[in-house]
Amino acid sequence: MVSQIPERIEPGMPDQDRTATGLFGGVFARGRAQPTDTAWLQAMLDAEAGLARALERAGLAPAGSGAAVTAAARAGDFAVGELGRLAALTGNPVPALARALARRVPQGAAGAVHHGATSQDIIDTAAMLLARQTAGAVLADLARAADAAAGLARAHRSTIMIGRTLLQQAVPVTFGLVAAGWLASLDEAREGLVAVGSRLAVQFGGAAGTLASLGGDGPTVAALLADELGLAQPPLPWHTNRLRIIDVASALARVTAALGTIARDVTLLAASEVGEVSEGNGPAAEHGASSAGPAGSSAPRRGGSSAMPHKHNPVAAIAILGCTRQVPGLLATLLSSAEQEHQRAAGAWHAEWEPLTALLRLAGSAANWAAELLGSLVVDVSRMAANLAATKGLPLAEHVSSLLASALGGAEAHDLVAEASQRAVAAGLPLRDVLLEVPKLQDRLSAAGITAEQIEAALEPVGYLGATDHFITAALEAHQSLEARLAKEGRDG
Amino acid sequence: MVSQIPERIEPGMPDQDRTATGLFGGVFARGRAQPTDTAWLQAMLDAEAGLARALERAGLAPAGSGAAVTAAARAGDFAVGELGRLAALTGNPVPALARALARRVPQGAAGAVHHGATSQDIIDTAAMLLARQTAGAVLADLARAADAAAGLARAHRSTIMIGRTLLQQAVPVTFGLVAAGWLASLDEAREGLVAVGSRLAVQFGGAAGTLASLGGDGPTVAALLADELGLAQPPLPWHTNRLRIIDVASALARVTAALGTIARDVTLLAASEVGEVSEGNGPAAEHGASSAGPAGSSAPRRGGSSAMPHKHNPVAAIAILGCTRQVPGLLATLLSSAEQEHQRAAGAWHAEWEPLTALLRLAGSAANWAAELLGSLVVDVSRMAANLAATKGLPLAEHVSSLLASALGGAEAHDLVAEASQRAVAAGLPLRDVLLEVPKLQDRLSAAGITAEQIEAALEPVGYLGATDHFITAALEAHQSLEARLAKEGRDG
Amino acid sequence: MVSQIPERIEPGMPDQDRTATGLFGGVFARGRAQPTDTAWLQAMLDAEAGLARALERAGLAPAGSGAAVTAAARAGDFAVGELGRLAALTGNPVPALARALARRVPQGAAGAVHHGATSQDIIDTAAMLLARQTAGAVLADLARAADAAAGLARAHRSTIMIGRTLLQQAVPVTFGLVAAGWLASLDEAREGLVAVGSRLAVQFGGAAGTLASLGGDGPTVAALLADELGLAQPPLPWHTNRLRIIDVASALARVTAALGTIARDVTLLAASEVGEVSEGNGPAAEHGASSAGPAGSSAPRRGGSSAMPHKHNPVAAIAILGCTRQVPGLLATLLSSAEQEHQRAAGAWHAEWEPLTALLRLAGSAANWAAELLGSLVVDVSRMAANLAATKGLPLAEHVSSLLASALGGAEAHDLVAEASQRAVAAGLPLRDVLLEVPKLQDRLSAAGITAEQIEAALEPVGYLGATDHFITAALEAHQSLEARLAKEGRDG
Amino acid sequence: MVSQIPERIEPGMPDQDRTATGLFGGVFARGRAQPTDTAWLQAMLDAEAGLARALERAGLAPAGSGAAVTAAARAGDFAVGELGRLAALTGNPVPALARALARRVPQGAAGAVHHGATSQDIIDTAAMLLARQTAGAVLADLARAADAAAGLARAHRSTIMIGRTLLQQAVPVTFGLVAAGWLASLDEAREGLVAVGSRLAVQFGGAAGTLASLGGDGPTVAALLADELGLAQPPLPWHTNRLRIIDVASALARVTAALGTIARDVTLLAASEVGEVSEGNGPAAEHGASSAGPAGSSAPRRGGSSAMPHKHNPVAAIAILGCTRQVPGLLATLLSSAEQEHQRAAGAWHAEWEPLTALLRLAGSAANWAAELLGSLVVDVSRMAANLAATKGLPLAEHVSSLLASALGGAEAHDLVAEASQRAVAAGLPLRDVLLEVPKLQDRLSAAGITAEQIEAALEPVGYLGATDHFITAALEAHQSLEARLAKEGRDG
């Protein structure tokens, strides 16, 4: 059984429960491949089973040992709670697990269990297996999200809306450009996550990284173990070199950074006073409906409030933010923990397990929410137009300023238009009226040879979109290139 | 039923499982009062039940409503997983919980369920209840740890050992002073945690912090709710003012900062080359023993390694570090999340629940480990003496330098002794021999009127302990004052 | 010279440059008492001078030594850059500084320089002095900010606006309540910062915390040093017990948490589509104006954009967020660094200096910006009314729901009003019209005995403010209590 | 002028001051290419000058404009402090800088200054230029450090020492393996930093990312600007997609993670009780010596303590830790700040500047220290041998256990050797003596057919090094491959 070192992470991993249990699980533990305790345990058992098979292939364990250990390595057969309690004796659950596993295999195969390994070999390798599973699920959800963003970029290529900087209305953009920006960030996040696949490596060094208990056979077994598990083989054990953990975490943190930005945009665009987008009824709502009792009252309404019946909260976006905002602290913990002393560390290694698990879980959940969010986002084109019109030409002030700059010079043009804008705001008048009807300003424009027609043309939003169309196209083309590349690697790899 | 606002947190909370389940639970989820999903659910139900009783007392719910809701508010009767799934519809589990609770009470009492409240009122209040429980358990464990540290300070008041700065041997201290330093930090941590008790306040503001659905009765109900739950009443709802969350988190982070420092000291003092302390066989080992099967082989040895039979790892200290090093990132997340907009926040509030839960859990676990660690710490007095002797007088170089400073001036004395020290290191000679037998140095000493007897006296460690005894006494006295104060407050209520 | 241990931090510290230099200094280094390199150097020199005076008082240095060292301890006389370069030799600048200081005093006084101290004693004590200065400046700015918030709470006690939860319009509040919430958080932040004053303690332990080089005189000198500098005296040196650093940092982080929330509210309320507040022209603008050249074109317009002449960005609020969002990471670093081994730590201590300095600087800057922001905030009452009216009664849906609940039961009332709200949104109709003119709904209301007058009354915002007034009063009374307490403590000293 | 998009970052950047000024600069601001205020200002001016040249090439500015602006764009000609003060008006220094620059060029060229750009375009592009400079300097220092590590790996390939896990002596390794592990992490860090070169992209989007003020010419100017500055051209502006900032920061954080681990190893191996390595006298000491005055007493001794003349602190390793431990918090801040709303963010963007600057500075400083540290590390081979011998065979217990496992089965062998080890520790006897002379154990060995010769052979450290040699070779080969690849890329491009 020779598998490939994954140059990229397969999105098509076997399914687990779509929604994890737990009181907050519907928010923070969605998506396939959640790193539950059971998943952790199975990954540890997979590592032990892979080792038994590798030992057999290397001639260091009797024929059949690998199959026997593999057959016994089913998480459901072990008592998670008891292993957890015994973990207090050694600081991790592997010694108890290895003993329990050895007792569950025939006498002849027991010697193949955990032979040559130290606890960290099993846990680190299991972490890599979990990372691969989660990354696969995240990639699948991100692909859905990116496709949805690409669809929005195409559909709304020309849907004019106001661009906002520092939360102030600035100049016109299109919603297609907004979606193209989301798309570009999703695609960058996907690329990073695919690339991290080659960093997922087996850990196998024994007590102090020398594999001494295997005599001269260590490197052979290590290579076979990597082969069995489909993980890369590092030049030497990485017990205290935690860059692989950092790389997994950073790649996921890039994902949540991209998702958080999208989600924050959605919450702001969905704000009552803006109202340009709203969340559709995605699977969460369907799920709720299906789980409601006959009277329909057991399940709350999607996006509803317990106190305010008219509310339509952007639940998916909020849930994404609830996930993504936990990530910087978790990454910081992993990075702090990367300082690991001597041959294996006292404490810093242990401090990794929970934040890494949380990071995998939260990235998986945020990506799952995002696929749903973008797949059912409702865009209110007329509200976008209304919001753009509401400020009466001010967002085109820059355009007018450009027009005047050639005649007046940049600084003077800037200041003249700023003055006009302030008058317009103060008087509640359209910028056009101020520019063309306030005598003092009108005189300066006339003196500079600027006509009313020029001013009015400069105040048309559609004429001030610059490279918007070009940028949307560039993002869509980059998306197609990425899709083609990933499809090719999928076929080849 | 009128209870007191807790000026301090009671250590004697009702017991839960001593060791939480979960694959890593033996390491990261020890101690009483773990904030499990069930504990969260019960705390939410306690908040709802308290509200029903408050409404009844205010005349806003029928007689008996409070008791009826309270009777129904048992976590074990609700399906955590189903609530978790329904949480996806609204972003939190409270709307589904409130509906489920209302269905479980008699018709007449249903109107008392969740009346006037918003989801955040229930979750924030539940968080305060959980914080009180955990803080109580932590305080009880810290009291045990501090008593043990005080015992070590007294027992080893005069046990001379080498002080180490920047990991280099410096000047002599006593192990009693080390323990007194641990004690002082534990007591400071306890004081902060007791003080945070007055910050634990009920949350009750309704949809947007006005309690509008209660008309003019809001403040009355809020006061009664605070009274029912034994929490403080804030001047106004704190939906977006998260300083109370920060205060709980900071108080716990102070605890873990103190514990982490102690644990790091233990791992370093227990290092093979130092060997001055080791971990005794605390309850973890007993637990392991009792859970071992007849053959005794199901449980690994306490502090044992899966690969190296001679190892005696300081498991408790390592587990403490595994807990404490996760805390800075969690506190940072809570602090980042404190920026909450408008009347209730979209995402930042949701991002609090998991890090706060983890922080409560980890502080509880670290404190429980620490009580065990300090209560059974084994001190190797002879190894301390041997390590002090090993550097052949160099740690007394400062003392010699002081002696010479009066005659030579500080800078020259410092440089002369530095030269002698470097010669001693290079030649592997005692500092005494270099000072008294290298002619060039001997001459300078003689010229300065320094005798061999003075040099030899200056090289006696016991003569160079300065304020060590004074400082130990000060820490012990401060400890007794704190104990007396806490005992008095406990009596006064 | 006997000074008091500061139970609280004096706001009236001597003035430094109001605005620090540096390319980003106008944003991130405002306010008095910035912890510049010069301020650090002076604080170190103050610690050394205080030590010399303490030694003289203890009879361990010749008469006049203290005055001589104090006279020489002027930061301006030392070359910061050269000390910084020499810091590379020992890992900190104190050894070079102590030598340089000793060379600048008369021969007889040189022995009083740094006698008994280790580098960490000087730097830690200097950090406490800097913390006191910054805290004083922050408290002064927070007092201004709180007074401004109190003024807004009083002035706008009855200015109705829409409350927003999860960025959706919810139910009515008043702007006075918003300001009262800001006030409460500012006052809580002030209380914490005042309280931390008693934690500012002298550090004095010598090489390994025993003060051995002072023989039996260590505690006496330590007490005199604390007295000279007006700092508390700890029971024993705190070289590796960093809770005091954590306490200073946490108190400042609470301040920035409060300020960040206010600033975020302002950016959102100032958003073009909301427009309920805007920044006035505070001192920053005046400063800019005064520094502009004759042509007026050298200084950009306050709140202006380099590209968009009509923009009026909320610069102060943005600058506050630019400061406050850096703080969680800095606090995490300090907390991670609190794990310090043995008698003095190798690296963890060094890692504190820069984040503590940044935290002091950023808290000082954010507080200074906040005083300006709140002192000149412009409130647009008519825009508040317009925004409230824009959603056509939906924010009162909860009120209607309460009205119906007595007749229909809570769940049915909630669902009926939710249905009406959705119809109103879909049809663009006022909620009133849907409730009273859609036959199906009208029939259910009639059947329940609800009249049109009742519905219309329930839709009046002013009738649905609940405890708003009560809460504003409570926050203002708490503010007055705090002011009275601080004034009394100021008088009592 | 057509330059290449850098596929990797050139290490050979122009020199700046080797050691930055500032009171702590010798510790935290070493190396070339420090991101000082002057460097920031120059990078902003470089971006403005590049834009002027791009505009001229696009035909949008008069011939000679580019050269004129470039000539005027010298940081030394601008007043940093004044720009910093004016930054308070707009929230950043660019508007004032653009005006000042425009005033310094001939009338005809003024229109080419800042045309089409927004402040964020200039600051983000400048950040990329600074990142390239720092990355180049860091790569140069890492290359030196890696070469030194490779030299240590070769020189000490067979230098046996004890491996330590959880700070306990475990099994033998060689110092060459330790150095090979350092080498592998340094090379991984270098690869990541080289790879980030392709992510350094120009920022150019104008007010809201549409380049509207350039009409249809935006993309052309953007491409020319990228070409002028040698930066990549992104598909669309990345004003709110901060993954490039995250990538720079993560790549640097990987560097500091690798360096921190090495530095921590050095501090522990240099601890008095271990004493296996010490720091040599690197350039820092030479620098200090050269800057000392005639009397030689102005500069403290390298690694000296202000209080203890015999100390030889590992200053470089401590300084590295002082730098690296600040990084996780800074990365967390940048990651939190990556959530940027709408077209350009209010506050989150501003919060990036300082942590990014600090991260560049600290990574540069740590890398510079590391090159010095590894280049002059002193290895004490005899001390390594002595430490290995001190535990009397216990580290070979695993080897004996392996030997017995074939005869007794793994669990029994493990337990027998554990018992023997505990007896050996308790009695202070060599493990050999216990195994071969305690009758009960001896009998079991005999019964299993194990001879004394076998036991004695198993207790030879050199016979229990397993794959040590193989792993050293693998790390050295990977290093050579990397060097060859980088050299080729340097030649090609």
Please give the Cα distance from A166 to B367 (Å, whole number): 45
Q: Mean pLDDT over residues B187-213, rounded?
A: 97
Q: C292 pLDDT exceeds 60?
A: no
**Catalytic center residues of D:** 305, 344
Best mutation site among A272, A380, A399, A408 for testing chain C: the one with the most C CBs within 10 Å?
A272
Please give the residue that has the higher pLDDT: either D418 or C150: C150
pLDDT at C428: 86
Q: Mean pLDDT over residues B104-116, rounded?
A: 94
pLDDT at B384: 98
Please give the Cα distance from C342 to A455 (Å, whole number): 74
- The answer to whether the CB atoms of C355 and D263 lie below 8 A apart is no
pLDDT at A398: 82
- ∠ Cα D19 D23 D24 (to 5°): 65
Q: Are residues D111 and D176 in the same domain?
A: yes
* Amino acid at site C174: T
Place of tokens 């639970």: B25
From the CB of residue B105, how many other CB atoms can be counted at a distance below 10 Å? 22
Q: Are residues A380 and A403 in the same domain?
A: no
Q: Does some domain include residue D76?
A: yes
pLDDT at D284: 44
Residues 6+ apart with CB under 8 A from B85: A19, A21, A25, A26, A287, A291
Q: Are residues A89 and A179 in the same domain?
A: yes
Please give the residue that has the higher pLDDT: either B5 or A379: A379
pLDDT class of B32 with cuts at 50, 70, 90 = confident
Least confident of D225-229, D282-286, D314-318, D487-491: D282-286
Q: Are residues C314 and C420 in the same domain?
A: no
- Is residue A337 within 8 Å of A356, Cβ to Cβ? no
Q: Does some domain include residue D297?
A: no
pTM: 0.94
Q: Are residues D252 and D345 in the same domain?
A: yes
**Residue B391: helix, strand or coil by DSSP?**
coil
Q: Does some domain include residue B145?
A: yes
Least confident of A212-221, B66-75, B402-411, D271-280: B402-411
What mean pLDDT, rounded, does chain B reach? 90
Q: Per residue in C399-412, pLDDT tens?
A: 898 888 888 887 78
Q: Mean pLDDT over residues D229-236, rounded?
A: 98
A-to-C residue pairs, Cβ atoms closer than 8 angstroms:
133
Q: Does some domain include residue B8?
A: no
- Is residue A26 within 8 Å of B88, Cβ to Cβ? yes
Please give the Cα distance from C19 to C361 (Å, whole number): 11
By residue count, chain D amounts to 493
**Residue D345: helix, strand or coil by DSSP?**
coil
pLDDT class of D4 with cuts at 50, 70, 90 = very low
Contacts of D24 in chain C (CB under 8 A): 37, 84, 87, 92-93, 353-354
- Is residue A48 within 8 Å of A122, Cβ to Cβ? yes
Q: Per residue in C102-128, pLDDT tens?
A: 999 999 999 999 999 999 999 999 999
pLDDT at A406: 80
Q: D2 pLDDT exceeds 50?
A: no
Alpha helices in D376-409 (DSSP H): 381-390, 397-408
Q: Are residues A354 and A434 in the same domain?
A: no
Percentage of chain D exceeding pLDDT 90: 76
**Burial per residue of D162-177, b for 16 or more beta-carbon CB atoms within 10 angstroms, e otherwise:** bbbbbbbbbbbbbbbb
pLDDT class of C282 with cuts at 50, 70, 90 = low
- ∠ Cα A448 A453 A456 (to 5°): 105
Q: What CATH number does residue B61 fall under?
A: 1.20.200.10
Q: Are residues C325 and C178 in the same domain?
A: yes
Q: Per residue in B288-311, pLDDT tens?
A: 333 323 333 456 767 766 555 566
The domain tally of chain A equals 2
Q: Does some domain include residue A30?
A: no
Token readout for D188 is: 């991984």
- The answer to whether the CB atoms of C169 and A273 lie below 8 A apart is yes
Please give the Cα distance from D211 to C118 (Å, whole number): 59
Active-site residue flag, A344: yes
To the nearest whole Å, the CA of A458 is away from the closest chain B CA by 37
Contacts of D262 in chain C (CB under 8 A): none
Token readout for B357 is: 């839960």
Q: At what angle do helices A468-492 and D218-229 cross, to 10 degrees?
A: 60
- The single residue of A190, A344, A361, A444 carrying the catalytic annotation is A344
pLDDT at D308: 59
Please give the Cα distance from D52 to D65 (Å, whole number): 6
Token readout for A225 is: 């173990």
Q: Are strands B377-379 and B277-279 parallel, antiparallel or unpaired?
A: antiparallel
Q: Are residues B320 and B449 in the same domain?
A: no
Place of tokens 């004003």: D239
pLDDT at D282: 55
Contacts of A216 in chain D (CB under 8 A): 466-467
pLDDT class of C301 with cuts at 50, 70, 90 = low
Last residue in a domain, options A384, A415, A431: A384
- The answer to whether the CB atoms of D25 and C353 lie below 8 A apart is no
pLDDT class of D406 with cuts at 50, 70, 90 = confident
Q: Does some domain include residue C485?
A: no
Q: Mean pLDDT over residues B189-205, rounded?
A: 98
To the nearest whole Å, the CA of C259 is away from the closest chain D CA by 13
Q: Does some domain include residue D97?
A: yes
Inter-residue long-range contacts of D217-224, CB under 8 Å, 24+ positions, other chains counted: D217/D58, D217/D60, D218/A466, D218/A467, D218/A470, D218/D116, D219/A467, D219/A470, D219/A471, D220/D58, D221/D51, D221/D54, D221/D55, D221/D58, D221/D60, D221/D116, D222/A467, D224/D53, D224/D54, D224/D57, D224/D58
- The answer to whether the CB atoms of D307 and B398 lie below 8 A apart is yes
pLDDT class of B360 with cuts at 50, 70, 90 = very high
Q: Mean pLDDT over residues C187-200, rounded?
A: 97
Least confident of B185-194, B281-290, B432-441, D480-489: B281-290
Contacts of A96 in chain B (CB under 8 A): 298-300
Shortest CA distance to C186 belongs to which of C371, C377, C378? C371
To the nearest whole Å, the CA of B79 is away from the closest chain A CA by 9
Q: Mean pLDDT over residues D37-63, rounded?
A: 97
To the nearest whole Å, the CA of B86 is away from the closest chain D CA by 28
Q: Per residue in C381-395, pLDDT tens?
A: 999 999 999 988 988
- The answer to whether the CB atoms of A208 and D166 lie below 8 A apart is no
Contacts of A325 in chain D (CB under 8 A): 336, 339
- The answer to whether the CB atoms of D305 and B165 lie below 8 A apart is yes
What mean pLDDT, rounded, does chain D reach? 90
Q: Are residues A189 and A98 in the same domain?
A: yes
Contacts of A335 in chain D (CB under 8 A): 253, 257, 327-328, 331
Q: Mean pLDDT over residues B473-483, rounded?
A: 98
Q: Are residues A110 and A176 in the same domain?
A: yes
Q: Does some domain include residue A14?
A: no
Least confident of A281-285, B28-32, B158-162, B364-368: A281-285
pLDDT at D9: 67
Q: Are residues A272 and A416 in the same domain?
A: no
Last residue in a domain, options A336, A359, A384: A384
Q: Which domain holds residue C446?
A: 394-458
Q: Per residue in C152-185, pLDDT tens?
A: 999 999 999 999 999 999 999 999 999 999 999 9
> ipTM of this predicted complex?
0.93
Please give the Cα distance from A131 to B362 (Å, whole number): 24
Q: B282 pLDDT exceeds 80?
A: no
Using only the alpha carbons of chain B, give its radius of gyration: 29
Shortest CA distance to B260 belongs to which of C247, C243, D322? C243
Last residue in a domain, options A384, A404, A432: A384
**Shortest CA distance from B361: residue in chain A:** A354
What mean pLDDT, rounded, does chain C reach? 90
Q: Are residues C437 and C344 in the same domain?
A: no
Q: What CATH number does residue C400 fall under?
A: 1.10.40
Q: Within chain A, which residues score under 50 in pLDDT?
A: 1-5, 12-19, 283-297
To the nearest whole Å, the CA of A317 is away from the closest chain D CA by 13
- Is residue A200 within 8 Å of A6, Cβ to Cβ? yes
pLDDT at D122: 98
- Is residue A409 within 8 Å of A430, Cβ to Cβ? no
Please give the Cα distance from D62 to D73 (Å, whole number): 18
- Is residue B181 within 8 Å of B473, Cβ to Cβ? no
